[in-house]
Amino acid sequence: MYYGTKRRVFISYHHRGDQQGLNEFTRLFAERYEVFYDNSLDGHIRSDDAEYINRTIREEHIVGTSITIVLCGAETWKRKYVDWEIYSTLHHEHALLGIALPTAIKGNAGGIIVPDRLHENIQSGYAHWLGAWVTDPQALQTAIEAAIQKSEDSSKIRNDREKMRRNLA
């Protein structure tokens, strides 16, 4: 049993494609972390108003957390809401951690395909990347702390990219 202070963690993921990854993450780590995620963005927010959706992401999901973990599966990079959640995370200068799910795919160069905004911040040194799925709570704790330490240098944030307007096919 874990009795330490729980970090407040927001999980960004592709609801339809990576629900199993989220379920496994929650099963493995919910006792250690206060986990927040929203599977309603793809399904329950019925609005065409991008600003309303972005405000909902910021105010109801990102604010109050210290880190966003992006679970990267086969199609995570195609999802506009994942991009918007990363954007809001960076806007609030919160830590950002990407984790490859077992379903992740590799590009032509051999690296795992991740959302562009996440990739830019991994490259700049602001975000932390775990290129393999972890099941060990201590390994995740180490990665979270590394991401939080990296986030102390907000000059490395890369958030100038225009937000995605639609999901990619």
Domain with 16 in it: 7-156
Any domain includes 163: no
Any domain includes 168: no
Any domain includes 161: no
Residue 136: CATH number of its domain: 3.40.50.450
**Amino acid identity of 167?**
N
Which of 15, 4, 2 has the alpha carbon at shortest distance from 75? 15
Any domain includes 35: yes
Kindly report the number of other CB atoms within 10 A of residue 132's CB atom: 11
Any domain includes 162: no
| Number of structural domains in the chain | 1
169 residues of the chain, pLDDT tens digit each: 444 567 788 899 998 889 999 899 888 888 888 776 654 444 445 556 666 666 666 556 677 788 999 999 999 999 998 999 999 999 999 999 999 999 999 999 999 999 999 999 999 999 999 999 999 999 999 999 999 999 999 999 999 999 999 999 8
Any domain includes 37: yes
Any domain includes 128: yes
Any domain includes 165: no
